[in-house]
Amino acid sequence: MRILGNDYDKAEFAGAFGDLGTLVPFVVGYITLNRMDPLGVLVALGLFKIFAGLYFRTPMPIQPMKAIGGMAIAHASTTTPGMIWGAGIFTGIFWLLMGLTGAVTWIEKITAKPVVRGIMLGLGLSFIMEGLGMMRTQPLVAIGGACLTLLLLTSKRYPAILALLVYGIIVAFITNPGLSSDLSHISIRFRWPEVGIPRISWNELVAGFIFLGLPQAPLTLGNAIIGSVAENNQHFPDRPVTAKKISIDHGIMNLASPFLGGIPICHGAGGMAGHIRFGARTGGSLVILGLIVLATGLFLSDSVSLILQVFPRSVLGVILLFAGVELSLVIKDVRLRKENLFVLVVTAGVAMWNMGVAYLAGLILYYALDRRWIKI
pLDDT of residue 4: 45
Residue 160 lies in a domain: yes
pLDDT confidence of 8, banded at 50, 70, 90? low
In this predicted structure, what is the pLDDT of residue 3? 42
Q: How far apart are CA 364 and CA 370, in angstroms?
A: 10
pLDDT of 355 above 80: no
- At 256 the pLDDT is 96
Domain that holds residue 252: 7-329
Residue 14 has phi, psi (to 5 degrees) of: -65, -45
The answer to whether position 335 is within a domain reads no
109 pLDDT tier (thresholds 50, 70, 90): confident
Sign of the C-alpha dihedral computed for residues 52, 44, 42 and 134 taken in this order: positive
Q: Is residue 2 part of a domain?
A: no
Alpha-carbon distances of 354 from 213, 214, 228, 367, rounded to whole Å: 15, 13, 17, 20
> What φ, ψ does residue 311 adopt, rounded to 5°?
-105, 95
Q: Say what percent of the chain tops pLDDT 70.
A: 97
Q: Is residue 338 a part of any domain in this protein?
A: no
Q: How far is CA 352 from the centre of its chain?
A: 16
Note the pLDDT of residue 2. 45
Other Cβ atoms less than 10 A from the Cβ of 295: the count is: 13
pLDDT value for 6 = 57
Q: Report, as an integer, the average pLDDT of 85-108.
A: 94
Phi-psi bin for 279: left (phi > 0), alpha (psi -120 to 50), beta? Answer: left
pLDDT at res. 1: 43
- 218/238: higher pLDDT: 238
pLDDT tens, position by position, 33-73: 899 999 999 999 999 999 999 999 999 999 999 889 988 98
Q: Is residue 134 part of a domain?
A: yes
How much is the mean pLDDT over the chain?
A: 89
Is 15 a residue whose pLDDT tops 50? yes
In a domain, residue 246? The reply is yes
Q: Is the pLDDT of residue 7 over 60?
A: no
Per-residue pLDDT, averaged over 145-157, amounts to: 90
Query: What is the predicted pLDDT for the residue at 170?
Result: 93
How far apart CA 310 and CA 176 sit, in angstroms, is 10
Is residue 366 included in any domain, yes or no? no
Say if 358 falls within a structural domain: no
Average the pLDDT over 300-319 and give the result: 89
pLDDT at 184: 80
Number of domains in the chain: 1
